[in-house]
Amino acid sequence: MKKTLNWGILGTSFISGEMADAIIEEGNTRLYSVAGRSVERLMEFANKYDIKNTFTDFDALIKDQDVDIIYIALPNHLHHEYVIKAASAGKAVLCEKSLSIDMPKTHSALAAVSDNNTFFAEGLMYLTHPFIDAIAKTIKAGAIGEIKSISGQYCAAIEQFVNPDSKGALYNLGCYPASLMHLLIKQQFTSEVSDNYQINASGLRGGDGNICESAATVQYSNGITCQLHTAENYGLHAAFTVLGSEGSLVLTSNPWLPGANANSFTITKYEQQSETITVEADGNGFLYQVKLIREALEQGHKNLQRPAATAQDSEQIMKLLTDWEAATLATLDQ
């Protein structure tokens, strides 16, 4: 008889609730414990989800021998610290995106995962959904020919809700189009191409001093040019287009928040009629994230499989984000 895996959640934010709902819906693992700094919010969260084990000390939850999986739902600048602690305690780790806010912290976190040979996944939950799998397979099958250019955008008015230490729009929102671009470029071309690029960017600072908006041009070593844009101080808009040698793929629903239905993209062969493809699913990206993590752990894997992000992918996505940040700051500081 296999053991029911126990989740321990660090943090009681909105995203913790999304994960708690998904854990309950998936139904094959258990919401076992939760930790939060605010006693009032902690008890409200625990009561809502009928969680018996509560902690105001994050370290105490991590050390609980009955916890199998730690979900880190804390602000970005705290992620690496608790990845290290959870991995060192031998726990499986799901760390909310973005993995960190700089490369030294990223390397420290992933080194702890490697040294302790523990499971790790970054919470880019949309990548676990069948919608993204369908997009990746369609492009791999040559439906639009070879990728020539990509443009991706995500804007949402979240600036007032995020911790200033999480470093702004790039790490809160830009990580979505950047990670999908990374997936598709890496799928079609060699690592020598996907790891070698130049970035030029411009942007604006928000009231907290962080980058609140930025537009970037990314040119890969094989000449492929891509564009990224994000903003966290206005709108709710998602867009992603892939231009190929024979046609285009345009996402006609929000790829960052795929659900059970209405997930669609359009394939257009140049100068021909378009075909819209709809992908039905059992639920949202959080549900599939929980399901795939459970299956991976039951099978003894240390990573999710692509199109979900592996630990190596998370490192490369963080490199892309930090390079985007540096390019933006270079123009802002002129």
Sign of CA dihedral 325, 317, 70, 50: positive
Between 14-26 and 285-298, two packed helices, what is the crossing angle to 10 degrees?
A: 60
What's the pLDDT at 21?
A: 98
DSSP secondary structure letters along 124-152: -GGGGSHHHHHHHHHHHTTTT-SEEEEEE
Q: Structure tokens of 262? A: 């209405």
According to CATH, where is 3.30.360.10 located in the chain? 127-283+318-332
190, pLDDT greater than 90: no
Compute the distance between CA of residue 40 and CA of residue 44 in angstroms, rounded to an integer: 6
Compute the distance between CA of residue 15 and CA of residue 96 in angstroms, rounded to an integer: 9
Q: Model confidence at 191, in pLDDT bands (50, 70, 90)?
A: confident
- CA distance readout (Å), 90 to 112, 188, 266, 312: 10, 35, 44, 20
Residues 9, 94: contact at Cβ < 8 Å? no
Q: Provide CATH code, domain 6-122+287-302.
A: 3.40.50.720
What's the pLDDT at 93?
A: 98
- CA distance readout (Å), 103 to 99, 118, 314: 10, 20, 11
1, pLDDT greater than 90: no
pLDDT digits (tens, 9 = 90+) for 66-114: 999 999 999 999 999 999 999 999 999 999 999 999 999 999 999 999 9
Confidence (pTM): 0.97
According to CATH, where is 3.40.50.720 located in the chain? 6-122+287-302
* Average per-residue pLDDT for the chain: 97
Q: Model confidence at 334, in pLDDT bands (50, 70, 90)?
A: confident
Start-end of H helices in the chain: 14-26, 39-48, 58-63, 76-88, 103-115, 130-140, 169, 175-188, 191-194, 285-298, 311-332
| CATH architecture entry for 127-283+318-332 | 2-Layer Sandwich (3.30)
Report percent pLDDT > 70 for the chain. 100
pLDDT digits (tens, 9 = 90+) for 10-60: 999 999 999 999 999 999 999 999 999 999 999 999 999 999 999 999 999
Compute the distance between CA of residue 53 and CA of residue 31 in angstroms, rounded to an integer: 9
